[in-house]
Amino acid sequence: MGMRQTSKDVKVVGLGQACVDYLGRVPAYPPEDGKVELTQLAIECGGPASTAMVTLAKLGVKGSFMGSVSDDYIGNRIIDNLIQHNIDITLLKVTPGYTSQFAFIAISPDGARTIFWHRGTVPPLSPSDVDLSLFPSARVLHLDGLMIEASMEAARQAKAREITVVIDAGTMREGSKELVSLVDILIASETFAEPLVGRDTDPRRALKALKSLGPRQVVITLGRRGSVGLDEEGVFYEQPAFPVDAVDTTGAGDVYHGAYIYSLLNGSSMAECMRFAAAAAALKCGYIGAQPGIPSLKEIEQLLAT
């Protein structure tokens, strides 16, 4: 590696998954042992943390991505995509001779998706790979919670450096609760709270249960039903989804996270962050793949103005 350069202009560091998505549109989802013709096929980069970082890059915020890939076709495509978006990859670990993460996504006519994914055989980041001192101007650390040990180390370093920690929490896993206790802003999927409160629970109850784990702000994203939030003072927020003809919802949550962080960096209130993020996520759904539809600031502002 040689001497690692500090990157003074990096404002947000993302740690987590980057992958390549193979996306196929299907007229109807087939039964098991059935067969269906793909009406469209796209190959695009995705992954929760990396898509959030690309969102920030498109909004003009310099970021760095920490993750683990190999030197296969998929790994090289991921690296090229990050470089193309001017995202710092100082701490992207490349381990030759393994496979990188990919997913195959079947998209139904209403934009719903069924995802088959492979984590890859490449070893995950280890805590010793994490060094936030390389980013003296970083203000936010964004985690997607998959590489738990590296994420915990990054969160501890962020706390020591007074960097705000945001997490995209998709599925409650081993160590998730401990990680969430180190986080300032928890943005969770509906299913993340289920192990704590059960299914079909009132969102307010789910928000309170998640907030009791330690974060100061909690948001739960509810897909086409919008998002709900709970702030430091215990004030509850509801943000409806912006109406959109959904072509593909892949990456909508990841774009929501990136846009939320952008708004946060601009000093917006929680309600404003949620509204801005909802607009960005809605606009993304007009395109196939997690990243091609990421909107510009102008496009988001136009939607907010209407």
197: Cα within 13 Å, side-chain hemisphere: 18
CA 199 to chain centre: 23
Nearest-angstrom CA–CA distance, 252 and 135:
28
Tens-digit pLDDT profile for residues 177-210? 999 999 999 999 999 989 989 888 888 999 999 9
- Residues 11-25: what's their mean pLDDT? 97
Percent of the chain scored above 90 by pLDDT?
Answer: 88
Instruction: Specify the 3-state DSSP secondary structure of 46.
Output: strand
Q: Architecture of domain 12-18+47-100+121-305 in CATH?
A: 3-Layer(aba) Sandwich (3.40)
Mean pLDDT in the chain? Answer: 95
Nearest-angstrom CA–CA distance, 253 and 189:
8
Report if pTM > 0.75.
Answer: yes
Structure tokens that stand for 215 in this block:
């974060």
Which band of pLDDT confidence, cut at 50, 70 and 90, is reported for residue 40? very high
The structural domains of the chain, with segments of one domain joined by +, span 12-18+47-100+121-305
- Residues 34-49: what's their mean pLDDT? 96
DSSP state of 251: T
Higher pLDDT, 2 or 110: 110
Pairing mode of beta strands 63-66, 68-69: unpaired
DSSP state of 88: B
What's the one-letter identity of residue 137? S
In the prediction, which pLDDT does 1 show? Answer: 43
Percent of the chain scored above 70 by pLDDT?
Answer: 98
- Choose the weakest-confidence range: 111-115, 135-139, 288-292: 111-115
In the prediction, which pLDDT does 3 show? Answer: 53
Ramachandran area for residue 94 (φ above 0: left; ψ -120 to 50: alpha; else beta): beta
Nearest-angstrom CA–CA distance, 211 and 231:
9
In the prediction, which pLDDT does 8 show? Answer: 86
Backbone CA torsion sign across 206, 212, 213, 214 = positive
CA 124 to chain centre: 17
Cβ within 8 Å of residue 304, ≥6 positions away: 275, 276, 279
* Phi, psi for 162 (deg, rounded to 5): 60, 40
In the prediction, which pLDDT does 27 show? Answer: 95
Does residue 2 register a pLDDT over 50? no
Instruction: Specify the 3-state DSSP secondary structure of 34.
Output: coil
- Residues 224-240: what's their mean pLDDT? 96
Tens-digit pLDDT profile for residues 103-115? 999 999 888 889 9
Q: How much is the CA Rg of the chain, to the nearest whole Å?
A: 18
Does residue 175 register a pLDDT over 70? yes
Q: Find the largest Cα–Cα distance for the chain.
A: 54
Nearest-angstrom CA–CA distance, 146 and 231:
25
Cβ within 8 Å of residue 206, ≥6 positions away: 190, 193, 196, 197, 220
